[in-house]
């Protein structure tokens, strides 16, 4: 199938069997499977796959390399007077299972009454205040064009250069498009970004929890299957040569199963940490190579006073951290907390430093923006989460690269091998929701349906 035809078909059909959102019928509800199933990874995809298998009374175990569930959902208690999210933080769209689960948990959302501020030169002003600045308006216009692109495949950086966007505002487009998609402007495919936007079906809005953590939502939703999760067990080798599949962990312990669902992050598949015997088909290996996933850092900064405008939601800067969000908004009246998010090249630069040195560099940037010593004198606590250094994650989340094949490549990544080895996780979502928690969840449903489709 040609890429354009696949995209058109995906837009028309996603949300049916492959990526059901909200509550839909199970097309294989009557089928039973008595074999032993292993799920590798206890992130959102693996947990939901286990949840669905439990509903079918299947025999399964979830193996998680880390010492906690959640994958790239990781919450931090005790840093300040509300829970901090070190990984995924926002619910994207109001039409997904993830949104429904959060609402059902009784969590409330942070009111969206704030505004965004942008740095140009040495000034930080709101969108309204920059309204008459031609370069600023051109940057915002380009971000919209980049999300609705129909030309030849190109990087965001090349697109900005061809549009002759002023150098002084390119960081704005970089932050709003590339950083938000998990990378930097010289690596993100504009065409791939548009394809995913066109296929998006999860509704509108971005929602942040005010009174509980995302980890708490997961723990509540999956409380009945958590006994099926085996922590601190890194599966290193999967041998599917014979009828039964052999799983070997980092301690050389072996287990035998009949089917296995792989939900590890793309960067783990791209590494040598997980070996397949025989090697995966070349089409699968090519798909793994043809999707990007790289460095991503989240930095949490607590201050003893607010030095940013009281109306601030996010601040977009030209420094080491493209976006800072005021995470204390709607969560605390006592704390003043900024959460910085940086991806791609800028994250790699910070990652090459120690955590202490990286935090110092970030605070220096804030001092330049807000005034000499303003941020550094007010800092009371800091925490840096470098997802590229997380041994069982190895990066932020997947993104489209130039020449990567877009959604069609993600579908190839998702395909089962020999009706024995199955794949889920956000990178396998070919319906526009890659890089999201709800996309991972939807892939968990899709993979269970595929497994039961293959049961005869």
Average pLDDT over residues 310-332: 97
Distance CA 186, CA 156 (A): 6
Check residue 24 and give its pLDDT.
65
Average pLDDT over residues 184-203: 98
pLDDT in tens, 116-141: 999 999 999 999 999 999 999 999 99
Check residue 136 and give its pLDDT.
99
pLDDT in tens, 143-183: 999 999 999 999 999 999 999 999 999 999 999 999 999 99
Distance CA 98, CA 47 (A): 13
Q: How much is the mean pLDDT over the chain?
A: 95
Is a pLDDT exceeding 90 seen at residue 60?
Answer: yes
Angle, CA of 422, 426 and 429, to the nearest 5°: 70
Check residue 108 and give its pLDDT.
95
**Burial of residue 84, with CB atoms counted within 10 A of its CB: 0-12 exposed, 13-18 middle, 19 or more buried:** buried
For residues 142 and 169, the answer to whether their CB atoms sit within 8 Å is no
pLDDT in tens, 209-266: 999 999 999 999 999 999 999 999 999 999 999 999 999 999 999 999 999 999 999 9
pLDDT in tens, 343-371: 999 999 999 999 999 999 999 999 999 99
For residues 385 and 321, the answer to whether their CB atoms sit within 8 Å is no
Of residues 106 and 23, more confidence is placed in 106
Is a pLDDT exceeding 50 seen at residue 341?
Answer: yes
Is a pLDDT exceeding 60 seen at residue 49?
Answer: yes
- Give percent of the chain with pLDDT exceeding 90: 92
| Complete domains list, the chain, with CATH | 3-69+222-292+397-453 (3.50.50.60), 134-199 (no CATH)
Q: Which residues of 170-199 are buried (b: 16+ CB within 10 A; e: fewer)?
A: bbbbbbbbbbbbbbbbebbbbbbbbbbeeb
Average pLDDT over residues 295-307: 98
Distance CA 259, CA 448 (A): 11
Quickly state the pLDDT bin for 27 (edges 50, 70, 90).
confident
Greatest Cα pair distance, the chain, in angstroms, is 70
Q: Cα torsion for 376, 378, 383, 384, to the nearest 10°?
A: -30
Check residue 219 and give its pLDDT.
98
Check residue 22 and give its pLDDT.
55
Is a pLDDT exceeding 70 seen at residue 187?
Answer: yes
φ and ψ at residue 263, rounded to 5 degrees: -125, 15
Check residue 16 and give its pLDDT.
36
- Tokens (6 digits) for 452: 């039961």
- Give percent of the chain with pLDDT exceeding 70: 95
**Model pTM?**
0.94
Which three-class secondary structure state does DSSP give residue 21? Answer: coil
Distance CA 432, CA 439 (A): 8
For residues 264 and 425, the answer to whether their CB atoms sit within 8 Å is yes
- Tokens (6 digits) for 24: 């839909």
Quickly state the pLDDT bin for 439 (edges 50, 70, 90).
very high
Check residue 23 and give its pLDDT.
58
For residues 385 and 86, the answer to whether their CB atoms sit within 8 Å is yes
Check residue 12 and give its pLDDT.
37
- Tokens (6 digits) for 57: 């009374």
Which three-class secondary structure state does DSSP give residue 403? Answer: coil
Check residue 65 and give its pLDDT.
99
Distance CA 417, CA 399 (A): 23
pLDDT in tens, 323-335: 999 999 999 999 9
Check residue 267 and give its pLDDT.
99
Which three-class secondary structure state does DSSP give residue 3? Answer: helix
Q: What is the DSSP letter of 82?
A: S
Instruction: Please report which helix (H) or strand (E) contains residue 329, including its range.
Output: none
């Amino acid at each position: 199938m040609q890429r354009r035809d696949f995209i058109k078909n995906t837009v028309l059909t996603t949300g049916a069997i492959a990526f059901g959102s909200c509550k839909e019928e199970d097309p294989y509800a009557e089928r039973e499977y008595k074999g032993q199933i292993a799920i590798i990874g206890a992130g959102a995809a693996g947990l939901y796959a286990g949840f669905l298998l439990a509903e079918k009374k299947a025999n399964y175990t979830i193996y998680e390399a880390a010492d906690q569930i959640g994958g790239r959902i990781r919450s931090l208690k005790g840093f300040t007077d509300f829970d901090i999210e070190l990984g995924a933080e926002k619910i994207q769209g109001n039409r997904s299972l993830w949104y429904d689960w959060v609402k059902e948990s009784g969590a409330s959302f942070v009111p969206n009454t704030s505004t965004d501020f942008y740095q140009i030169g040495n000034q930080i002003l709101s969108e309204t205040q920059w309204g008459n600045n031609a370069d600023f308006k051109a940057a915002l216009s380009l971000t919209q064009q980049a999300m609705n692109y129909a030309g030849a495949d190109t990087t965001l950086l090349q697109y900005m250069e061809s549009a002759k966007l002023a150098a002084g505002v390119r960081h704005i487009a970089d932050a709003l498009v590339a950083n938000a998609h998990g990378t930097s402007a010289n690596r993100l495919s504009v065409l791939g970004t548009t394809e995913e936007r066109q296929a998006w079906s999860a509704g509108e809005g971005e929602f942040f929890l005010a009174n509980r953590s995302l980890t708490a939502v997961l723990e509540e939703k999956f409380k009945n299957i958590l006994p099926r999760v085996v922590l601190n067990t890194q599966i290193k080798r999967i041998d599917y040569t014979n009828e039964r599949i052999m799983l070997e962990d980092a301690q050389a312990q072996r287990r035998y199963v009949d089917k296995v669902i792989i939900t590890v992050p793309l960067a783990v598949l791209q590494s040598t940490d997980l070996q397949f015997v025989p090697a995966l088909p070349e089409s699968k290996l090519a798909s793994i190579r043809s999707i990007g996933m790289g460095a991503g850092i989240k930095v949490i900064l607590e201050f003893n006073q607010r030095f940013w405008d009281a109306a601030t939601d996010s601040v977009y800067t030209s420094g080491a951290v493209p976006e800072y969000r005021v995470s204390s908004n709607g969560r605390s009246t006592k704390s003043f907390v900024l959460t910085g998010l940086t991806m791609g090249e800028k994250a790699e630069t910070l990652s090459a430093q120690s955590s202490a040195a990286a935090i110092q560099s970030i605070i220096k940037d804030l001092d330049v923006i807000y005034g000499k010593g303003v941020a550094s004198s007010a800092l009371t606590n800091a925490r840096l989460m470098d997802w590229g250094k997380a041994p069982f994650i190895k990066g932020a989340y997947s993104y489209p690269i130039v020449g990567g094949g877009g959604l069609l490549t993600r579908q190839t990544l998702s395909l089962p091998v020999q009706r024995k080895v199955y794949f889920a996780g956000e990178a396998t979502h070919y319906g526009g929701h890659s890089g999201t928690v709800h996309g991972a969840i939807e892939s968990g449903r899709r993979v269970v349906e595929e497994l039961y489709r293959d049961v005869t």
